[in-house]
Amino acid sequence: MRLKSLVPAIYILFLLLPIYWLVNMSFKTTNEILGSFTLWPRTFTFENYVKIFTDPTWYNGYLNSLKYVIANTILSVSVALPAAYAFSRYRFIGDKHLFFWLLSNRMAPAAVFALPFFQLYSAVGLFDTPWAVALAHTLFNVPLAVWILEGFMSGVPKELDETAYVDGYSFPGFFFKIFVPTIAAGIGVACFFCFMFSWVELLLAKTLTSVAAKPIAATMTKTASSSGYELGLLAAAGTLTIIPGAFVIYFVRNYIAKGFALGRV
Amino acid sequence: MAKITLHDLGHSYVANPKADADWALKPLDLDFADGGAYALLGPSGCGKTTLLNLISGLLTPSKGRIHFNDLDVTHKSPEDRNIAQVFQFPVIYDTMTVYNNLAFPLRNRGVAEATIDARVQEVASMLDLKPTLMKRASGLTADGKQKISLGRGLVRSDVNVIMFDEPLTVIDPHLKWELRYKLKELHQRTKRTMIYVTHDQTEALTFADQVVVMNDGQIVQIGTPVDLFERPRHTFVGHFIGSPGMNLLPCEVKDGKAVFAGGIVETANAAAYKGGAKSVQIGVRPEFVTFGANGVQVQVMKVADAGRFRIVTARAGEHHIKLLVPEGATVPTGNGHLQFDADRTRVYADGWLVGAEGAAS
Amino acid sequence: MKKTVNQKAWFFVLPVFLLVAFNAIIPLMTVVNFAFQETFGDNVFTWSGTLWFEQVLHSPRFHEALWRQIIFTSIILIIEIPLGLAIALAMPKKGPWVSVCLVLMALPLLIPWNVVGAMWNIFALPDIGLLGRTINGLGIDYNYTRQPGSAWFTMVLMDVWHWTSLVVLLCYAGLVSIPDAYYQAAKVDGAGRWAVFRYIQLPKLKHVLTIAILLRFMDSFMIYTEAVVLTGGGPGNSTTFLSIDLVKMALGQFDLGPAAAMSIIYFLIILFLSWLFYTLMMRNEEN
């Protein structure tokens, strides 16, 4: 028994090591990083974080990223809800093909869309706005959201719908007052996965933005190439990007198992 | 085969049980005779599954001892106790054929292949599984799968007791009677000790020779199905068994006679009442109540047709009395009089039957 | 569930359809356009038939990238699937540690991919990185910026670090959904640990494992950001996988024709795999 619990412990230790190294560096000066090798900052400093919180080029990066991630999550889940309902309750011409086509987009390599998206979003005048990224990400997130929500909805028997109609609810009334609360866990899981994929995806985010809507990822690369290796700053920036993710997992920790249990990741 | 003795056996799911309510199963003594067919009957949460798992070894009791014949098995694991258990839903090994499913317990114990083959064929024919022996177990219907579960218990010749935990739960209603019949038949053929847990009285009363009625972690009454029906020792038994259940009417006992709704009601045991109870009731089953020329004055409220008889609900004051009236007999409309069969009408004090059979078990 | 036939359901699906179509069909049309045409500038296009396709399919550069990709994906699957399963099996099923474990394990999955790459880029540096220093300190000459072998090692290690948790979470969810009664019956039947794994756990995990395998297959086949940030495709082009090669061609060299052709070929490979995925899953559910 004892030996068994060692396995997850060692694994988690392995997972935390690079993160610890990153956080370690974020509290050091770049000179210390390049000049010596220490497991704990010799001169503990907040200067990297201060720079990020006070320099607009930096903190705007975070705000821009958050903007499109939140916009995308809300958009993806909202349009996915009625569609998932349709797939779960009804049969219609082309339903299976449509479902498959949606899923196939989740499997599309972002690299294939890099250049075409660049041209498309420039053509519609959305280049360098958070909307471009939010919309582009729906390519992957909407099918995912539909898939997850459909799974949860199929677990709710049709009798619930029918009872509501018998009780006199109109369709919107039934949908928002009864159905949505029933699948709240599913909506939570869908939001989690949409947030996750949008927050971490960066090829499209960088391709579709340049200055105004630049996400934090692009800002980080600039640091590495233009003014040499400002490692301390880079580390602090990186550490800060972990926080929203940690936050979100904490909130949905009870649903993680359930969401994966559907096997519909 | 074994005689099972439970001594002062109790179980709590809480680490340090203090109050009565902490005990899922309150300490009890119980004997199961070798080769008997028993049912543990009671509503959800009464402790019957806890008791079953204590006997099978899936749970270790907080208190007390369990003996199989003379061997103390209290701390032995299930495989060391030589028991078999059939669960609520079919538990089979999906990737194996029916044959291999049945052979599995024997193979794990290192039995010779020739013996295994003989046993599997025998059990398969007992359970009508022969035609499906070479099929994948996952392809069978729910009742087929339950039979496989049962079969795995039967293949082993050294099984002390077979336990059933509400095994007909997922079976289609029209197949339930077939499986019930099969179980009874198997018991008579193999003469193994069988303990059957259920909340369904029909299953319990048709399968068992002895029924243990439980409620709230305690044994309320043990007896044959007839005993339970005709002489319930607790109002719970009277109410739980029979459909509809026993009528329970508050009464007083004066000068050795029961008085209800202003009139004397003849009972079998009113004279034995010694007084001092918080609540005194008359219990009588609807089967033993009839309309008559005189008796308790009632107003007929509702007549429900149940096929071969009708269930009539009548009212005396604020009390409802149910009775069964056979097809063809007339039911007075409006007012009438009810007669209770004196031999089958009994007084209960604080829920327990008054008289020579005594109160607590 | 019995679904009723209702063509009006298309209204529910319309927003999704339009959104995804906008993002999928229009760009793909652009790609197809470029794949079958040739331009010498000034927006003059001529039909080039299968020229680009042949060029790509015959180019050694494409073959090498494809080959590297296949090897990489195979290594990833061979390590991550059994490892993830093993960790999931070792995790407690109930208790206070469960959510702590799950949260910590999920952390790598939520880090932006460029940060993952940057983190490992520094972590593995031979002079200032903990990993790099440690390995070199053990006497092994390790420098992923110069040695292809070390670059591959670091790449694989990074991916394992990044994605194994996905497999763990999926398998764990599958494991806890196995009712206790199965384990109890196995106990009663006298089955040993290995038999329990082989006859109860593995069969019940088939659905979940299929998803894990296919997701990891697909996502590792499309790997881009973290790989690019870690090695940039190097040293040389020793770690230039398919996506990296494609982006180099498309956004770097603006070789529209070949890039478009390669995109289509790439997409078709993945599409074929999606179809496989879908069919296998549906067949599983029918069972």
CB nearest to B87's CB, from C181, C190, C191: C181
Task: Measure the CA dihedral B347/B350/B351/B357, to 10°.
Answer: -60
Contact B79 C187 (CB under 8 A): yes
Convert the pLDDT of each residue in B90-106 to its tens digit.
Answer: 888 988 899 999 999 99
Interchain proximity B108–C191, CB inside 8 Å: yes
The residue that leads in pLDDT, C281 or B295, is B295
pLDDT mean over C190-209: 87
Q: What is the mean pLDDT of residues A128-152?
A: 89
Look up residue B204 and give its two tokens.
Answer: 């319990």
Q: What DSSP assignment string belongs to chain C?
A: -PPEE-TTHHHHHHHHHHHHHHHHHHHHHHHHHHHTEEE-STT-EEE-TTHHHHHHHH-HHHHHHHHHHHHHHHHHHHHHHHHHHHHHHHS-SSSTHHHHHHHHHHGGGGS-HHHHHHHHHHHT-TTT-HHHHHHHHTT----TTT-HHHHHHHHHHHHHHHHHHHHHHHHHHHHHTS-HHHHHHHHHTT--HHHHIIIIIHHHTHHHHHHHHHHHHHHHHT--HHHHHHHTT-STTTT--HHHHHHIIIIIS--HHHHHHHHHHHHHHHHHHHHHHHHHHHHHHH-
**Is C126 in CB contact (< 8 Å) with chain A?**
no
| A12 phi, psi to nearest 5 deg | -65, -40
Task: Kindly state whether C54 is in contact with chain B, defined as any CB-CB distance less than 8 angstroms.
Answer: no
Sorted by sequence, the CB contacts under 8 Å of residue B351 that are 6+ apart come out as B234, B235, B236, B279
A142 touches C27 (CB < 8 A): no
Tell which wins on pLDDT, C204 or B194: B194
Question: Measured between beta carbons, which residues in chain A are less than 8 angstroms from residue C215?
Answer: 265
Closest CA to A130 of A18, A27, A208, A20: A208
How far B20 CA lies from chain C's nearest CA (Å)?
Answer: 26
Q: Cβ of B108 and C287 within 8 Å? A: no
**Distance spanning both ends of chain A, measured CA to CA:** 31
In A, which residues are within 8 Å of C66 by CB distance?
none
Residue A65 CB contacts under 8 Å (≥ 6 apart), including other chains:
A199, A205, A215, A216, A217, A241
Instruction: Find the largest Cα–Cα distance for chain B.
Output: 76
Task: State whether C9 and A90 contact (CB < 8 Å).
Answer: yes
Taking the C-alpha atoms of residue A66 and residue A63, their distance in angstroms, rounded to an integer, is: 5
| Mean predicted confidence (pLDDT) in A203-217 | 85
Residues sharing a CB contact under 8 Å with residue A39, sequence separation 6 or more, in sequence order: A24, C130
In three-state secondary structure terms, A134 is: helix
pLDDT at residue A137, rounded to an integer: 92
Which two three-digit tokens encode residue C188?
Answer: 């009663």
What residue in C sits closest to A244 (Cα-Cα)?
C110
Q: What is the mean pLDDT of residues C114-143?
A: 88
User: What is the least distance, in Å, from the CA of C214 to any CA of chain B?
Assistant: 22
Task: Encode B126-143: b = buried (16+ Cβ within 10 Å), e = exposed.
Answer: bbebeebbeeebbebeeb
Read off the pLDDT band of A257 (50, 70, 90).
low
Would you say residue A140 has pLDDT above 50? yes
Q: Which residues lie across from B4 on neighbouring strands? A: B32, B68
Task: Confirm or reject contact between C91 and chain A (CB < 8 A).
Answer: yes
The CA distance from A18 to the nearest CA of chain C, in Å, is 6
Burial of A227 (0-12, 13-18, 19+ CB in 10 A): exposed
pLDDT digits (tens, 9 = 90+) for A99-135: 888 877 877 788 888 888 888 898 898 888 889 999 9
Over residues C83-117, the pLDDT tens digits come to: 999 999 998 887 788 888 888 998 898 888 888 99
pLDDT tens digit string along A230-253? 788 888 888 888 888 888 888 777
Largest CA distance in chain A: 75
C282 touches chain A (CB under 8 A): no
Is C188 in contact with B56 (Cβ distance < 8 A)? yes
pLDDT given for residue A264 in this prediction:
47
Residues 32-51, chain C: which have Cβ within 8 Å of A? Answer: none
Can you say how many angstroms the Cα of residue B122 is from the centroid of all Cα atoms in its chain? 30
pLDDT of residue A249: 80
Q: Is the pLDDT of residue C26 over 90?
A: no
Q: Which of B339, B233, B245, B232 is nearest to B285 (CA)?
A: B245
Helix or strand holding residue B177 (H, E): helix B173-190
C246 — contact with chain A (CB < 8 Å)? yes
Q: Under DSSP, is residue A159 helix (H, G, I), strand (E, B) or coil?
A: helix
Nearest CA in chain C to A199: C112
In angstroms, the Cα distances linking C221 to A200, B128, B273, C159 are 17, 52, 85, 12
- Average of per-residue pLDDT across B156-182: 86
> In terms of CA atoms, which chain B residue is nearest residue C183?
B91
For residue C263, pLDDT beyond 90: no
d(CA A167, CA A29) in angstroms, rounded, equals: 67
User: Rounded to whole angstroms, what are the CA distances from C233 to A204, B250, B267, C228?
Assistant: 19, 89, 97, 6
Show residues of chain A in contact with C127, CB under 8 Å.
37
Which is higher by pLDDT, A255 or A16?
A16
C residues 171-190 lying closer than 8 A (beta carbon) to B:
179, 181-182, 184-185, 187-190
Q: What is the pLDDT of residues C151-181, one digit of tens each?
A: 999 999 999 999 999 899 888 888 887 888 8
- The model carries a pTM of 0.80
Answer whether residue B14 shows pLDDT above 70.
Answer: yes
Residue C127 predicted with pLDDT over 90: no
Type of residue at C11: F
State the pairing for strand pair C4-5/B335-340.
unpaired
Contact state of B96 with C187 under an 8 Å Cβ cutoff: no
Poorest-confidence range of B223-237, C71-85, C206-220?
A: C206-220
Residue C156: its chain A contacts at CB < 8 A?
Answer: none
pLDDT at B65 over 80: yes
Return the SS3 of A40: coil
Q: Please state the rounded mean pLDDT for residues C240-255.
A: 82
Q: What burial class does residue C212 get, using C-beta atoms within 10 Å of its C-beta: 0-12 exposed, 13-18 middle, 19+ buried?
A: buried
Q: Which chains touch C (3 or more CB pairs under 8 A)?
A: A, B
Which residue type occupies A84?
A: A
pLDDT exceeds 80 at position A34: no
Q: Within 10 Å of residue B272's Cβ, how many Cβ atoms? A: 18
CB contact under 8 A, C161 and A224: no
Supply the pLDDT for residue A228.
53
| B93, B150, B164, best to mutate vs chain C, most C CBs in 10 Å | B93
Task: Please give the Cα distance from C178 to C197 (Å, whole number).
Answer: 12
Residue B356 φ/ψ, nearest 5 degrees: -55, -35
Length of chain B: 361
pLDDT band at C246 (very low <50, low <70, confident <90, very high): confident
Q: What residues in B contact C184, CB-CB < 8 Å? A: 58, 78, 85, 87, 91
Interface check for C195 against chain B (CB to CB < 8 A): the answer is yes
Q: Is the pLDDT of residue A225 over 60?
A: no
Residue C249 has what pLDDT?
80
Q: Which residues from A are below 8 Å from C112, CB to CB? A: 199-200, 202, 216-217, 241
Residue of A nearest to C121 (CA): A18
Whether C110 sits inside 8 A of A109 (CB atoms) is no
Q: Is B203 exposed, middle or buried (0-12, 13-18, 19+ CB in 10 A)?
A: buried
* Cβ-Cβ contacts under 8 Å, B83 against chain C: 188
Touch between A and B (at least 3 CB pairs under 8 Å): no
CB-side neighbour CA atoms (13 Å) of B24: 18
Which residue is closest to C193 within chain B, CA to CA? Answer: B108
Q: Which of A200, A225, A234 to mutate to test the interface with C (most CBs of C within 10 A)?
A: A200
Share of chain A above pLDDT 70, in %: 92
Contact B87 C184 (CB under 8 A): yes
- Helix ranges (H only) for chain A are 2-26, 30-35, 47-54, 56-89, 95-106, 110-123, 130-154, 158-166, 171-173, 180-182, 184-200, 203-207, 216-225, 231-261
Cβ–Cβ of C173/A86 closer than 8 Å? no
What is the residue-averaged pLDDT of chain C?
A: 85
CB of A128 closer than 8 Å to CB of A213: yes
Which tens digit of pLDDT belongs to each residue from B232-274?
Answer: 888 888 888 888 888 888 888 888 888 888 788 888 888 888 8
The token pair at B147 is 């039979």
pLDDT at residue A227 is higher than 70: no
Q: Which chains touch B (3 or more CB pairs under 8 A)?
A: C
Q: pLDDT category, A258, cuts 50, 70, 90?
A: low
CA closest to B155 among chain C residues: C189
Count CB-CB contacts under 10 A for residue A33: 22
Q: Which helix (H) or strand (E) holds B220?
A: strand B218-223
Give yes or no for residue C286 having a pLDDT over 80.
Answer: no
Classify B298 as helix, strand or coil: strand
Q: Residue C170: which of A17, A249, A260 has the nearest Cβ?
A: A260
Q: What is the pLDDT of residue B56?
A: 87
Instruction: Provide the 8-state DSSP code for B97.
Output: B
Chain A neighbors of C211, CB-CB under 8 A: 263-265
| Residue C58 exposed, middle or buried by CB count within 10 Å (0-12, 13-18, 19+) | exposed
Q: Is the pLDDT of residue C237 over 90?
A: no
Out of C19, C104, C112, the one facing A202 most closely (by C-beta) is C112
Reading across the β-sheet that carries B280-284, which strands appear in turn?
A: B247-250, B280-284, B346-349, B352-353
Q: Is the pLDDT of residue B361 over 60?
A: no
pLDDT score for C49: 77
Q: Do B93 and C199 touch (CB under 8 A)?
A: yes
Residue A66 has pLDDT above 60, yes or no: yes
How does residue A12 score in pLDDT terms, banded at 50, 70 and 90? very high
Q: Other C-beta atoms within 10 Å of B258: how many? A: 26
Name the closest residue on chain C to residue A93, using Cα atoms.
C7
Mean pLDDT, rounded, for B29-45: 90
Tokens of A91: 């049969």
The SS3 assignment for B306 reads coil
Q: Given this model, what pLDDT does residue B358 score?
A: 44
Contact B93 C190 (CB under 8 A): no
Q: Check CB contact under 8 Å for A217 and C3.
A: no
pLDDT tens-digit map of C34-51: 888 877 766 677 787 788
Q: Do C221 and A109 touch (CB under 8 A)?
A: yes
Cβ neighbours of C200 in B, within 8 Å: 93
